[in-house]
Amino acid sequence: MSILNFQNVSAGFAGKNVFSGASFSIEKGEKTGLIGANGSGKTTLFRLICGLLEPVDGKIFTSSGLKTGYVEQHACRDSDKTVFNELLSVFDGLKELEAALEDIHRKVELTSGKVPEYLEAQNELNEKYVSAGGLTYVSRTHSALSGLGFTKEEEELSVSALSGGQRTKLSLAKLLLSEPELMLLDEPTNHLDILSCEWLEDFLQKYKGALLVISHDRYFLDKVTSKTIEITSKRVYSGKGSYSEYNKNKALRLESERREYEKGMLEIKRIEKMIEQQKQFNQERNYITIASKQKQIEHIRETLPELPPKEREVKLRFGEIDRAGDEVLVCEGLSKAYGGKKLFCGVDLKIRRGEKVFLLGPNGCGKTTLLGLIMNRVPADAGFARFGHNVKTGYFEQTQSSLMSEKSVLYEIYDAFPNLTVPEIRNLLGAFNFRGDEIEKTMSSLSGGERARVALLKLILRKPNFLIMDEPTNHLDASSREVLEQALQNYEGTILCVSHDRYFVNKLASRILSFSGEEITVTDGNYDDYINMLKARKGESAPLEAPKKPNEYLLKKEALRSERKRQTRLSKIERRLKEIEDEKNAVSGELASPGTASEYEKLIKLTEKLQELSNEQAELENEWLELSE
């Protein structure tokens, strides 16, 4: 049963169209991901659902009395309440029931249970209290705070003492526990560490209401959602499947639409050539044929799918880098404490050339501090870190306070890399979501996220052979993250990275260092391998053996061989098509000759020859189409 239905909805403001023709529905209990580039209109769609914005066109239908929940409705302002009591306020209705129960219980005791009306009222209230979760709401409050990373001590802090990130988490907790029929979440994992993300995923998987979630966390979307809505090129598309499934289906859909379009255009081109030939014959029956063929073209154009927009393919490459020694980094006995709190002690670590090592752990465990020690920006209490032979480091920090000049974004890159042309820089900035006039913004006017993206691009262009990065994907949308992933997958250097982006970790990691208390656990493999290791330790079922990966060298070699064969055949077809065109022109010329019209046998042979050439041309054009795909 649909609880929300968009019918041909268009949205915009200040005369600017955000998207148009949006038609989709959300079913009861359905978990849906909402994806799209920053600024594509995702928040606008949320505001339409909440009634904070009216559609320019179309209709939005909701089921009767639909209870919708949005974080903004539960935003935490300055308050003297403790964190725990602020979250407990979600259950004010249950507390009123408790008071009513206590009141009726006193009346029952005073009358020794001899008043049937009191006993009946007590039973009704008790049933209502239990069914509404009255026996568990306190424990659920503690569980939500713990799951989202609040300590017992932080539960007793006043809301006014919380940081912005902590208030966002508390607002999220209030929304989760309010249990609306349709929950709208906007980037819920932004301020969460991996453990909190996993708690949230488990909560939402068990949640019985419907969910529409904006997120760039692709691992989260794959775990939680079964449907995806995408806003792109001012259009809204809807499809079954989580993020990864939707993307696969999307690629097939776009390819099918493009194939149908190109096939139709080839057919139109073929018919137009036939019309030209018929015109050359210049006989009455030929004009009847021409009119018929024109109708055929009109029919094809009517049924032709709209050419899907070609997605901008932007690739970042590190290019050739200097070769480092086999041993890139050695740490021995590294220890650090702050204010009597020990972060880690006796860390021994060796990273070899080509490894991609990721640091995982809860917020505040010391991951960023460890990177600071390695880069000699934070003094160690004990131990040392040294780089190997010919190591050229590139360090990406979460905060980019040094990028605060009055230069434009364009000239920040151009001055650092004058060998690049302006079009090349525009293209590279576009990969990190700087488009149009945005490249003319001054560095000092950028948000923290925008500065981080500029810093990341500068890091890539410096071509270090050892990348040390702290949360590089935090401020990137999904498409920009994929561009970065592709660059790092092809990167021949070494990586040491802190990240909460599990999809990113899963794609790149060859080894994982996990902070647990003051210890660091080492796991070979990616994030899935790490999770399997944890399950095995807990005695849970885990795959006995990971599937063997195919030999990448042989796969690449076979792919190159197939590509050479494809290109050779394409060249042959293109040469033959040109020959056919010349031959057809020659035959058509003979057919148009006055002398041929009186030679019946020659006319028949030339007509048959023309048909043979046209048949061969059609077959080759179809083969060319298939090979071009």
9, burial (CB in 10 Å: exposed 0-12, middle 13-18, buried 19+): buried
Q: Which 3-state string (H, E, C) describes 573-608?
A: HHHHHHHHHHHHHHHHHHHHCCCHHHCHHHHHHHHH
- For residue 169, give the nearest of 153, 188, 152 by alpha carbon: 188
Amino acid at 479: S
On the 0-12 / 13-18 / 19+ scale of CB atoms within 10 A, 158 is middle
3-state DSSP assignment of residue 26: strand
| pLDDT value, residue 311 | 53
Instruction: Give the pLDDT of residue 548.
Output: 43
Residue 281, pLDDT above cutoff 70? no
pLDDT above 70 (res 449): no
Report whether pLDDT(487) > 80.
yes
How many CB atoms are closer than 10 A to CB 215?
22
- Determine contact, residues 174/73, Cβ cutoff 8 Å: no
Phi-psi sector, 132: left (phi>0), alpha (psi -120 to 50), beta: alpha
* Band of residue 266 on the pLDDT scale cut at 50, 70, 90: confident
- Percent of the chain exceeding pLDDT 70 equals 90
So what's the pLDDT on residue 164? Answer: 82
**CA-closest candidate to residue 271, choices 301, 247, 242, 248:** 301
Average pLDDT, the chain: 85
pLDDT at 544: 39
Say if residues 543 and 388 touch (Cβ distance below 8 Å).
no
Range with the largest mean pLDDT of 19-23, 394-398, 518-522:
19-23
Q: What is the pLDDT of residue 545?
A: 42
517 pLDDT higher than 70: no
pLDDT digits (tens, 9 = 90+) for 320-363: 889 999 999 999 999 998 877 888 888 899 999 999 999 998 87
| Per-residue pLDDT tens digits for 306-318 | 665 555 555 677 7
524 - beta bridge partners? 511
